[in-house]
Amino acid sequence: MVSALFNFVQDHGGGEESHGEALGADFIMHHINDHVLWEWHPFGFDLSITKHVFMMWIASAILILLFSTIFRKPKMIPSGLANFFEFIIAYLQDEVMKPYLGKDSRKYAPYLLTAFFFVLLCNLLGLVPGSATATGDISVTTGLALLTFLMVQGAGIKKNGVVGYFKGLIPPGLPVFILPIMIPVEFVGLFTKHIALAIRLFANMVAGHVVIFALLMIIFTFKSWAVGGITLAGLLFVSLLEILIALIQAYIFSILSSVFISMAVHQDH
Amino acid sequence: MEHLGLAYLAAGIGAGIAVIGGAFGVSKCANAAMDGIARQPEAAGDIRGAMIITAAMIEGVALLGLVICFLLAVKA
């Protein structure tokens, strides 16, 4: 990461006095933006393979390989990696699924666990030098939130029926004159929850990376080795914080998905 | 140039205000959760789960403001 930064600064004439801060902003944007690896425009649609798509492929490949190898022959008493992942899954089942979904939790466990591990792995892969954070892209998080949206609507409609589900969105027993206000509010509320889900994950991942690069840029702003110590201490702290945030955001994504599903399934409270 | 400067100023001040709002919300939420845990330690697990969800909701609103400020700073 640092060597890439150094090359970038050299290539773009970082030695000049006036460019210090503008260059920093350029570099930060360069790292947050997506880059096209392979141009592909089938039928007029832009389906180019970008760096973030590639990182998602890597995350998916790691997940598929990992879980298909360690749980190929499930044992009563797991050992090694299987034990470790069984501990995480048991924790998620007790904390994320059971309290909200109750006995339905096994039905929605595949989606919630996949979302958790995929988001977690994308977040953590973003911290590897030379890689990109797939979840730091609004398109990726919107896609994930769209999946949750479909899961929520599907679960609600399956449980309550099409008419019952949309009727149940409005709390029962409201006076008629409030309905013109409540119907649009509840309809918008159907989408805002999921938009917030997408923006939360995106902003958390981007904010962490921006802070890391802003700290790195202190060196280039002051053009001195003396501030290196501050930068190093700050970077170490923020990087550790980033690992924590990667875990928390994955947890929050799955727990909120679980809560939204339970809200759609159990509409009476 | 002056307009550009104003946009940067707006982005900086806006980010600060968004963070103040978020900090206020999260601190109130954590305060109540700590009170609850101190009064009823056996409910710590449930309270913690509810606190994380609420904190995430509040944080989401603050981050929404930060994203707008970030766009303002970058696109200006």
Contact (CB, 8 A) for A64 and A81: no
Phi and psi angles of residue A49, each rounded to the nearest 5 degrees, phi first: -85, 115
Contact B63/A204, CB-based, under 8 Å?
A: yes
**In this complex, which of A95, A199, A255 lies closest to B60 when CB atoms are compared?**
A199
Residue B76's pLDDT is what? 65
Whole-angstrom Cα distance, residue A227 to residue A218?
7
Q: Is A94 helix (H, G, I), strand (E, B) or coil?
A: helix
Q: Which residues of A touch B70 (CB under 8 A)?
A: 206, 210
Element at A36 (helix H, strand E) = strand A36-38
CA distances to A237, A238, A246, B37 from A242, in Å: 9, 6, 6, 27
The number of distinct structural domains making up chain B is 1
B67 part of contact set with chain A, CB < 8 Å: yes
Q: Which of A199, A211, A213, A261 to mutate to test the interface with B (most CBs of B within 10 A)?
A: A199
Instruction: Give pLDDT tens digits for B26-53.
Output: 999 999 999 999 999 998 888 888 888 8
Sort out which chain A residues have CB atoms less than 8 A from B57's CB and list them: 196
Q: Looking at the complex, does the CB of residue A92 fall below 8 Å from at least one CB of chain B?
A: no
What is the SS3 assignment for A38?
strand
What is the torsional sign of CA A49, A137, A96, A190?
A: negative
Q: How many angstroms separate the CA of residue B60 from the nearest CA in chain A? A: 5
Separation between Cα atoms, residue A225 and residue A244, nearest integer Å: 29
Contact across the interface for B46 and A99, Cβ inside 8 Å: yes
What whole-number distance in Å separates Cα of residue B23 and Cα of residue B16? Answer: 10
Whole-Å CA distances, A75 to A71, A168, B19: 8, 43, 49
Find which of B29, B46, B53 to mutate to test the A interface (most A CBs within 10 Å of its CB): B53
CA distance A127 to A239: 8
Among residues A104, A118, A59, the alpha carbon closest in space to that of A253 is found at A118
Contact A29 B67 (CB under 8 A): no
pLDDT number for residue A111:
92
Angle between helices A51-70 and A80-92 (to 10 degrees): 110
Contact B74 A29 (CB under 8 A): yes
Q: How confident is the model at residue B24 (pLDDT cuts 50, 70, 90)?
A: very high
**Helix spans in A104-227 (H):** 105-125, 138-160, 162-168, 179-222
Cβ within 8 Å, pair B53-A256:
yes
A39: amino acid identity, one letter: E
The CA distance from B10 to the nearest CA of chain A, in Å, is 17
Predicted pLDDT of residue A193: 87
- CB-based contact, B44 to chain A, within 8 Å: no
Chain A to chain B Cβ contacts (< 8 Å): 42
Identify the domain containing residue B7 by its residue range: 2-75
Tell whether A29 lies on the interface with B, counting CB pairs under 8 A: yes
pTM over cut 0.95: no
B46 inside 8 A of chain A by CB: yes
Cα A214 from Cα A8, distance rounded (Å): 15
Report the CATH number at residue B26: 1.20.20.10
Q: Which neighbouring-strand residues pair with A36?
A: A50
Task: Provide the CB-side half-sphere exposure for A266 (13 A, CA).
Answer: 11
pLDDT truncated to tens, each residue of chain A (269 aa)? 555 555 555 555 444 444 555 566 677 777 777 777 777 777 777 778 888 888 999 999 999 999 888 888 777 777 788 888 889 999 999 888 888 888 888 889 999 999 999 999 999 998 888 788 888 888 899 999 999 999 999 998 988 888 888 888 887 777 888 888 888 888 888 898 898 889 889 988 888 888 888 888 888 778 777 888 888 898 899 999 899 889 989 999 999 999 899 888 887 75
Q: Give the Å distances, CA to CA, from A95 to A66, A102, A147, A245, B65.
A: 23, 11, 22, 18, 30
CB contacts, 8 Å: A199 with chain B: 60, 63-64, 67
pLDDT digits (tens, 9 = 90+) for B65-75: 888 888 888 77
Q: Does B12 touch chain A (CB under 8 A)?
A: no
Interface ipTM: 0.75
Q: Which token pair is A122?
A: 């994308």
